[in-house]
Structure 1
Amino acid sequence: MFSLSLKKRGIDIFEFNSNLGLKRLNDYEPGVKKLPRHLKQNGFYEYVQPRRIFSLEPPEYQMIFDQISGVLNEKLVADYAIKQSNMLKEHFHAESFKLIIGGDCSILIGTALALKQHGNYALFFLDGHTDYVDTKISQTKAVAGMDLAIVTGWGVDGLTNIYGLKPYFEESNVYCVGNTELDEDYIAPILDSDIRYIDLIQLRNSGIQRIAEEFLEHVDKENVDGFFIHVDVDVLADCHMPAVDSRAESGLTYDELRHLLKVLLSHEKSVGMELTIFDPDFDEKGTIAKEFIHQVKDFFE
């Protein structure tokens, strides 16, 4: 069940710094595209000591609403997802752990597409929001708020059904964990799905160890080829991670995040993890980045 440490496995970093999945607010272009450089400047890569680094620059940021689908930057996001998946596919033969640094949550689509072409994978979706909505519910119509719905096959074909591979993840193989947006209309769709949904309150009531082990038992029982971990840093409490576009007071503590990831990353079928939504424009002095690195560095030593 348990693998070598990530460092012994070897870590490949993929820099997918797209901000196309976010809406411009108050003439502000989302700064999440700066995250790989920001983490590198503040010492993260020194701890990770990646075996290789791959980068894929996104198209220039735009605000294009598709008149038919009503989705922001639909074609641009889809084109970038295809390029992501092609880059990842070239390196899936290696046993290395894939650490993907965003960018916004729309980068999950490219990873999901690559995984679907490689086999049958599960997803542990760790996020302060469910991201399981469509354009009728989404206020921004931006892909970063709909990514979980898209990768499980709910939404416009241009994003959900690339190469006719819909869905990229079976809903029954997805755990959505940590949501703090508990509006009834917002969570209604995911409650009506086959996704295992555990909001922050439920996570704490059930216990982090139990939920992580339950997911790993599912992975073993279903004999999937592996699993991927999505981490939107807004799953952390605002006191720890205010450098995000959608702040909320409640959220995980660093102790809780470390506990959860320690259990998941120790499993031999963990193939990769992505970090999204951390916006360096809200962390000009690097204080938040340095604390984040300090809190997670043990996984990479």
Structure 2
Amino acid sequence: MTLTCTLQFSGLVNISYLYGKSKYTFSLMNHNINIVEFPSNLGLEEPAPGTEPGVRNLPSWLRENGFYDMLKPQNVYTAKAPAYSTRRDPETGIRNSASIVDFAKQQAELLEEVFEEDPFPVIIGGDCSILVGNAMALKRKGDYGLFYLNGQTNYVVPPFSQSDGLAEQNLAVVSGQGHPRLSDIDGLSPYFREEHIWCVGNREYGQDHLTPLHESDIHYMDLDTLQHNGTEHCTNTFLQMVEQEDLDGYFIHVDTDVLDDMVMPPATGRSDDGLTYAEFNHIMEKLLTHNKAAGLEITLLDPDLDPTAEYTREFIANLGKCIIDARKHPIA
């Protein structure tokens, strides 16, 4: 059944519900940008007993604080995630494993439509388990690279993993590691080939995190190396790889904990140091401007940890400007 109605929201809005999917169309819109909402917290542990991770509210939080008004997207799509549970799946060892797989398939189905449109998709989580469904959709389209900007590697695999949350393992899963129920959904493994992945900005240096990564073909650049070599070198080498490998495009993952803890304390999984906004903005400007940029996902900013929205608004001001400026004038 199809239902169409008209509401007032920053101009005229048309809303269509199609088999559980929602599509919002703004009259005052930016034809270069779409927003996709995946409000999932399925990949995280409870912050306290009986308390759900607050990242599921990130899309509505960014909307309330002006991000959508700033981007003025042509369309806003949303998919509702399954209910959060603390139950650990004995086969995969991952909490919410079956729900994550179901939601990943739902994401991929929706994104097949979104990726066929011209506007650049800005995808808002949630936690970084949403990368699985996004990666599946890209794999169905072709051969894509991944620029993984994160304060942690999230390439922790058994027996090193100390958590039953997929958020700790999502980079391993999308590169074909981990349990096949997650890493090989619909026979698509690997969603990204290791040699096409840049893992950038990590500042957790325990061997449990680094040993599996060093044994892989992933290009790894931790925070110290990134700041020593410079953001220009990092982005240039990635973009050169994309061209040399003749990839169909690349996807950008932004976990907000990559930013310095002084400017992003509401990120889930805090640790000292991190990127300044000047460094972060330069990376975003370089990556978002290129015509092979296929999409951007934003994860792990927890509204519960920023009750005054002070840090959220600073993040919106910086990233929003990067997106708008870059998509006005994408380069070949």
TM-score where L is the length of structure 2: 0.87
Instruction: Pick the aligned partner of 1:160 from 148, 161, 183.
Output: 183
Instruction: Pick the aligned partner of 1:184 from 207, 212, 216.
Output: 207
Q: Please give the residue correspondences for 1:28-107 in structure 2 after superposition, counting only pairs within 5 Å.
A: 28-107=51-130
Higher RCO by CA contacts (8 Å cutoff, separation 6 or greater): 1
Post-superposition CA distance 1:85-115 (Å, at most 9, x none) = 0000022221221100000000000000000
Whether 1:198 aligns to 2:218 is no
Which residue number corresponds to residue 3 of structure 1? none
Which residue number corresponds to residue 215 of structure 1? 238
Structure 2: which 5+ residue stretches go unaligned?
Answer: 1-28, 326-332
Contact 2:156 2:208 in 1 (8 A): no
Which residue number corresponds to residue 48 of structure 2? 26
**81-90 or 285-294: bigger deviation:** 285-294
Q: Please give the residue correspondences for 1:204-283 in structure 2 after superposition, counting only pairs within 5 Å.
A: 204-283=227-306
Contact 2:231 2:282 in 1 (8 A): yes
Q: Which amino acid aligns with 1:218?
A: M
**What's the RMSD between the two structures over aligned residues?**
1.2
Post-superposition CA distance 1:146-193 (Å, at most 9, x none) = 100000000111110011111000000000000000112221100110
TM-score where L is the length of structure 1: 0.96
Q: Please give the residue correspondences for 1:76-155 in structure 2 after superposition, counting only pairs within 5 Å.
A: 76-155=99-178
2: distance between equivalents of 1:17 and 1:284?
Answer: 18
Post-superposition CA distance 1:215-270 (Å, at most 9, x none) = 00000000000000000000001101011221111100111000111111111100
1: distance between equivalents of 2:313 and 2:271?
Answer: 21
Name the SS of the counterpart of 1:86 in structure 2: helix
Q: Which amino acid aligns with 1:257?
A: F
Instruction: Pick the aligned partner of 2:34 from 12, 18, 22.
Output: 12
Q: How many residues align?
A: 295
Contact 1:228 1:271 in 2 (8 A): yes
1: distance between equivalents of 2:215 and 2:163?
Answer: 23
Q: Which amino acid aligns with 2:275?
A: L
1: distance between equivalents of 2:244 and 2:30?
Answer: 27
Greater fraction of residues in strand: 2
1: distance between equivalents of 2:158 and 2:89?
Answer: 12
Contact 2:31 2:73 in 1 (8 A): no
- The structure number with the bigger radius of gyration is 2
Q: Which amino acid aligns with 1:161?
A: D
Contact 2:154 2:209 in 1 (8 A): no
- Tell me by how many angstroms 1:68 deviates: 1.9
